[in-house]
């Protein structure tokens, strides 16, 4: 018999508002728009001798920190092969995709190391950042599975799983 434990976090304040546009395989793209994203996290690890995977109150600030970092920004996929994001003067960046050109204050843009700003890719990026933070803050906890979901509208989520084989 196999036993597994996890904590599941779905807090009302695990959210961020951000602008983006998706680029589709045929090269077409959505219009620039925004979502009020919600984030859901499940962390699986061994149970400590105190009977805990991790204390909820120590993990919640990490998720909140990641959400706060994305909040009220224009999210740009830095690994897209065609889209470019370049400096435009001292305080602005220019986001270029085909015939589109957005000039945005530099402080309002986050270029993420992903190829598209889908909810699936956002979930994967958040999971990687959360895994890094967990490793830094809780080096004795061995996470065996991490699930992060990013909901862009009610009932519509992209999900990423990290699992140790």
Give the tens place of pLDDT for each residue, 44-80: 999 999 999 999 999 999 999 999 999 999 999 999 9
Q: Is residue 106 part of a domain?
A: no
Q: Is residue 90 part of a domain?
A: no
* Number of domains forming the structure of the chain: 1
Q: How many CB atoms neighbour CB 95 within 10 A?
A: 21
pLDDT score of 165: 74
CATH number, domain with residue 136:
3.30.479.10
Task: List all residues 6 or more positions away from 130 whose beta carbon is below 8 Å from its beta carbon.
Answer: 41, 62, 63, 66, 146, 148
Which residues span the domain enclosing 17?
6-77+112-163
Looking at residues 96-115, what average pLDDT do you find? 97
Q: Is residue 82 part of a domain?
A: no
Q: What percent of the chain has pLDDT over 70?
A: 100
pLDDT score of 44: 97
Residue with token string 């995709």: 97
Query: Given CA atoms 45, 69, 156, 24 in this order, what sign does their dihedral have?
Result: negative
Looking at residues 73-93, what average pLDDT do you find? 97
Q: Is residue 100 part of a domain?
A: no
pLDDT score of 102: 97
């Amino acid at each position: 018999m196999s036993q597994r434990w996890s904590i599941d976090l779905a807090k009302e304040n695990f959210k961020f508002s951000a602008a983006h546009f998706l680029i589709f395989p045929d090269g077409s793209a959505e219009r620039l728009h925004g979502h009020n994203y919600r984030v859901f996290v499940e962390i699986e690890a061994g149970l400590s001798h105190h009977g805990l995977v991790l204390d909820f109150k120590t993990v919640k600030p990490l998720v909140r920190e990641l959400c706060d970092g994305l909040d009220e920004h224009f999210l740009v996929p830095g690994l897209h092969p065609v889209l470019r994001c370049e400096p435009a003067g001292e305080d602005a960046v220019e986001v270029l995709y085909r015939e589109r050109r957005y000039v945005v204050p530099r402080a309002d843009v986050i270029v993420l190391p992903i190829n598209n700003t889908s909810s699936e890719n956002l979930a994967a990026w958040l999971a990687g950042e959360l895994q890094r933070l967990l490793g830094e803050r809780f080096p004795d906890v061995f996470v065996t599975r991490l699930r992060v979901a990013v909901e862009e509208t009610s009932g519509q989520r992209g999900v990423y799983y990290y699992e140790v084989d």
